[in-house]
A and B are shown apart, each in its own frame.
Chain A
Amino acid sequence: KAGVTQTPRYLIKTRGQQVTLSCSPISGHRSVSWYQQTPGQGLQFLFEYFSETQRNKGNFPGRFSGRQFSNSRSEMNVSTLELGDSALYLCASSLDRGLSYEQYFGPGTRLTVT
């Protein structure tokens, strides 16, 4: 079974631009979560999508948004990029059925804002 895939793997953007990142979960997984990882703050939860609906949200500004499609693939968008948005963006999928809550992470998208 294929793992979680994320595209693109690396991205360089300029301040003020916007960016869209994509995540394809493991087949059959309905929950997709997004995280930002930086050396200073560690892994921070952005939001979670389940059945095309945002089910949980972290403490990030409204510039960060996401969506999920009917095939469970998810995208996240960051508008008006700031230098501090440079980070590794990870998505994780979960079966979310019964007691199976473990999340499987993709390789991440490394975003650099200049």
Chain B
Amino acid sequence: GQNIDQPTEMTATEGAIVQINCTYQTSGFNGLFWYQQHAGEAPTFLSYNVLDGLEEKGRFSSFLSRSKGYSYLLLKELQMKDSASYLCAVRDEVTGGGNKLTFGTGTQLKVEL
């Protein structure tokens, strides 16, 4: 099975940088996703890491260390619209492949002026 931990809440200032951490303990690992979910809306895909290292996409970057069971999502130049829940999800290694994701409970980010 999978156990995923991420902070429940974080607060940051507009224009600043924030790092949201995610640690996982898994019986199998086949990649890690980050999703953003605004209240009342569906999750939207942000990033997918399967190899160690940093992936950068505009203001968003995601890092993975498989040996440490650790990932983070880095958000730069924060905007008010970045206030949302950020979900870390591990893609299980399953026989036959496919998509079986285990999600963390999400980190609620509040961006303030």
Residue in B closest to A57 when the chains form the complex, CB atoms = B100
Interface majority SS (helix, strand, loop, mixed), chain A = strand
Q: Is the CB of A55 within 8 A of B103?
A: no
- Report the bound CA distance from A96 to B91 in whole Å: 13
The size class of the interface chain A forms with chain B is: 20 to 34
Q: Is the CB of A33 within 8 A of B87?
A: no
Q: Quick check: is A71 within 8 A (CB to CB) of the other chain?
A: no
Q: What chain A residues lie within 8 Å of B87 (beta carbons)? A: 42-43
- Report the bound CA distance from A101 to B92 in whole Å: 12
- Interface size (B, Cβ < 8 Å)? 26
Highest count of chain A CB atoms <10 Å: which of B33, B41, B87, B100 = B100
Partner of B98, one of A43, A50, A102, A105: A50
Task: Name which of B10-18, B43-51, B62-70, B76-84 contacts chain A.
Answer: B43-51
Q: Is the CB of A33 within 8 A of B44?
A: no
Q: Is the CB of A43 within 8 A of B103?
A: yes
Cβ distance A66 to chain B, nearest Cβ, rounded Å: 14
- Report the bound CA distance from A45 to B100 in whole Å: 7
Highest count of chain A CB atoms <10 Å: which of B35, B42, B89 = B42
Cβ distance B65 to chain A, nearest Cβ, rounded Å: 20
Q: Is the CB of B105 within 8 A of A55?
A: no
Q: Is the CB of A104 within 8 A of B103?
A: no
Q: Is the CB of A56 within 8 A of B94?
A: yes
Residue in A closest to B87 when the chains form the complex, CB atoms = A43
* 12 CB < 8 A contacts A-B: A31-B98, A45-B103, A48-B99, A55-B96, A56-B92, A56-B94, A56-B96, A90-B42, A102-B48, A104-B45, A105-B44, A106-B42
